[in-house]
Amino acid sequence: MATSNASPELPTLRTFRPGGTTTIYAYYDGRTCPWQSSNWYDETLALGVASYSIIDGNTALLFDAGLTPAHGAHMLAHVRSLGADSVTTVYSHFHADHIAGASALRETKIVAHKGTYERLKKDAENLRNPGEGEGPSIDVVLPTETYEMTLSIQVGSITVELHNFHIHTADSTLLFIPESGLVFAGDMLEDTVTYLSDAEDLEKHIQELGRMAQLPIKKILPAHGCPDRIRAGGFDKSLIDTTVRYLTALSEPVEKPAAWEKTLEEVMKDDLAAGKLVYCQAYEGVHHENIESIKEIREENSAIDTTKSWDKQPDICNLSSYYTGQTINDRRES
């Protein structure tokens, strides 16, 4: 697997080809500093973040724009050096750490979910002029093409599919390569655990994970995950199940779920011991924020509905209960 180091401008960026792939590269930065819950940039570096490329002949696709314009420029120069003169960029969703490098990618076609376009258009001014301590300024580049449910793209001889799932954010895009069963998951699946940006939609997220699991996935490359596991070829499909188990533990239909009183390492100890996840201490900060988000939503709901009873919440503990109705494969073939 090919590996190269970045320029002095990007001293911690690693470029490598995940094991078992021949046309895919990862551009990984971070997991080189402790967790700081201060702004999106510092948090992202603590958790680590990867963008990806697919290259076939003179065509390339970039999945996410990189953490900064320097990252975006590095990725574009890399695929150009390998012969790509037609380049498409896909945004996984609207969050800053996935679109911040796009000012270096203006010459590429930029594709995203319709909701990503709408959110970036709405937030553009605030992203260009952040408040003190809110992270670097971002020169927002809006997508030039959007989709709603699914979209197929050709990267040379490789067919890729974009699928929208309401996981993490309502506009999230998953990239699926049918030929290999490989997935670029964005922030919908993370290692060690997912970050709840829309805690009020938690039940929907779990339902959508069940829908995602209908895809014939063989390997998963997340935006945030252990760099060594990504270098080795990614995570298997069990990452979906571990994510559901974590979310189910946090949302246990009792007044105070047991997971709220435990560290992340304690909550996920079985999956960590089985090697399904790789423990990253920085995700203890994410775990704490997830708990606080769920508490806030429960308090708001209780204030609205004083008859709320946590032991009468919908049963979201059985992932298989969502494997009903028409499958994704059925819809793709229809």
Number of Cβ atoms within 10 Å of the Cβ of 126:
12
Which pLDDT value is given to residue 319?
A: 41
Boundaries of every domain in the chain? 3-333
pLDDT tens column, 281-305: 999 999 999 999 999 999 988 877 6
Q: Which residue has the higher pLDDT, 306 or 314?
A: 306
Q: Taking 90 as the threshold, does the pLDDT of residue 96 lie above it?
A: yes
pLDDT (mean) for 83-94: 98
Which pLDDT value is given to residue 8?
A: 78
What is the Cα–Cα distance from 188 to 196, expressed in whole angstroms? 10
Region of poorest pLDDT, from 40-44, 180-184, 293-297, 316-320: 316-320
Collapsed DSSP state (helix, strand, coil) of residue 56: strand
Q: Taking 60 as the threshold, does the pLDDT of residue 81 lie above it?
A: yes
Helix (H) or strand (E) holding 111: strand 109-113
Residue of 124, 164, 160 lying closest to 142 (CA atoms): 124
Which band of pLDDT confidence, cut at 50, 70 and 90, is reported for residue 85?
A: very high
Collapsed DSSP state (helix, strand, coil) of residue 309: coil
Q: What is the CATH number of domain 3-333?
A: 3.60.15.10
Complete DSSP assignment for 251-304: T-SSSS-GGGGS-HHHHTHHHHHTTSS---TTHHHHHHHHHHHHHHHHHHHHHH
Residue of 247, 237, 267, 230 lying closest to 195 (CA atoms): 247
